[in-house]
Amino acid sequence: GQAEEIFALGDQIVETLRDDSLRRSLPFRIGIPDSMPKSMVHRLIEPALRLERPGRLVCRESPLSELLAELAVHRLDLVIADRPIPPEVSVRGHEHLLGESTLSVFAAPALAGRLQGDFPRLLDGAPFLLPGEDVAHRGALLQWFERMRIRPAIVAEFDDSALMKAFGQAGDGVFAAPTTIADYVCRQYGVRLLGEVPDARARIYAITTERRLSHPAMQAIRNAASRALTPAPRA
């Protein structure tokens, strides 16, 4: 009778929930802080679109604290960030260090032509576009200036990496970006590579509520990171 049909339907739903293929077809939701270089993120997550059975990717951009709050209530599956979970954020999650890249410094050709001397001395007094306080590698960059006794003229600060590069493209200042995307930055923004900052590194983390990166999209992202980034040395 009707009761049997309801029980049979219940069994079907349980079987469907057990079916991994359903899980794979659900949207895979990724949070990306404004501070992350977009081309680097694209390089990491694009392979998830080329899976044999890709789900739809949903990419959300917000400050890291907001993204971690969304992750905590399972509105996001993954956050890609340039730092681990900050101590003041009470979110239980797992950080997976995907790798790191040194930084390089770039300038529009007209500005590069006006800078005197060799790298890194040519940065002394040069107009510089500094990453904002939300950007994890800002501190390492400032420390490197101190060590090298270089004093650039900080003309602007940007939390958003794409906006910073747009100002750099216009010749408003020198800027830094991860070395792993140096070729792309030069091509896309028509800028020149001035030199590498070996001591300052951008690190990339995958933050999830799972201990293991079990979802096929997460595995694709980790594999892309192993090709695009240098494995970070174990502490």
Q: Do 25 and 43 share a structural domain?
A: yes
Residue 80 sits in a domain of what CATH number?
3.40.190.10
- Assess if residue 151 is contained within a domain: yes
- Same domain? 22 vs 96: yes
Q: Specify if 235 maps to a domain.
A: no
Instruction: Say if CB 205 and CB 190 are below 8 A apart.
Output: no
At residue 178, φ and ψ (nearest 5 deg) are -60, 135
Helix (H) and strand (E) counts for the chain?
A: 9, 8
Q: What is the pLDDT of residue 34?
A: 85
Whether residues 112 and 33 share a domain: the answer is: no
Condensed to tens digits (0 to 9), the pLDDT of residues 54-85 reads 678 899 999 999 999 999 999 999 999 999 98
Q: How far apart are CA 110 and CA 107, in angstroms?
A: 8
H/E run at residue 152? none
Instruction: Check: CB of residue 141 under 8 Å from CB of residue 202.
Output: no
What residue numbers bound the domain in which 178 lies? Answer: 101-201
Do 213 and 138 share a structural domain?
Answer: no
Domain count within the chain: 2
Cα(90)–Cα(113) distance, rounded to whole angstroms?
A: 48
Q: Using one digit for the tens of pLDDT, what is the confidence trace for 92-138?
A: 888 899 999 999 999 999 999 999 999 999 999 999 999 999 899 99
pTM of the model as a whole: 0.82
